[in-house]
Amino acid sequence: MPARDRIFARIRHNLGRGPLPETEVNALKARIEGHAPHTIPTRTAIARKKQVDLFQEKAEALAATVARVPSLEDVPEAVRDYLAAHNLSTRIKMAPDTALDGLPFDRTPMLEITRGAATPEDEVSLTPAFTGIAETGTLCMASGPETPSTLNFLPENHVVVIRKSQITGTMEDSWAQLRTKFGEGNLPRTINFISGPSRTGDIEQTLIMGAHGPRRLHILIVDDEK
């Protein structure tokens, strides 16, 4: 008997019952596969523009910085300006995601771009997001060969590019989009939800930034809904 079946058999034994009747099994299966949402906050039931504004408001409240750019072509210059404003390294480890392939970094020759998973030596990463959640100002990041999770956590400075069309109302909306893109039972190995830069207040309730990840999180919202 497989280990999983042995575990469930022991649980049933301790509960004093056998397998569930087929009708109950089918009802539970339908509930799980139905993905019915729970209570949805009314603050996300707003006009599309206001959802984007809410996402920015919530993200900034969590100590992220946010800038809006008219198009993807403007991203390299926005990244350059951000790095210069904070006196940060111009060496960037960028995700090998096709969503970033067309960025015209030839216009910013002072930036050195390499692509791949992050290493401890990388100070700045540039990644796309899967979605942004207006309800909480949270980024949803799906792992994969083109979006290594190390880029989200190893560099001390994380720059994220997200299109306005990728900003959703709630976490439930993001999960629905994940299931649509990747298919039932075929989700990425890791889904990371990022709300602001890394921080902790564990030691004497003193807030420390960058404790378990980036000290800075900068989000570039690209206007693709003109």
* For residue 198, pLDDT beyond 80: no
Q: What is the mean pLDDT of the chain?
A: 90
Q: Decide: 168 and 131 in contact? Cβ < 8 Å.
A: yes
pTM for the full predicted model: 0.85
pLDDT digit string, tens, across residues 97-152: 999 999 999 999 999 999 999 999 999 999 999 999 999 999 999 999 999 999 99
The answer for residues whose C-beta is within 8 angstroms of residue 57's C-beta and 6 or more apart is 137
Please indicate whether residue 206 or residue 218 has the higher confidence score (pLDDT). 218
Q: Where in the chain is the domain with CATH 3.40.50.10420?
A: 46-222
**Overall average pLDDT of the 14-23 stretch:** 85
Superfamily classification of domain 46-222: NagB/RpiA/CoA transferase-like (3.40.50.10420)
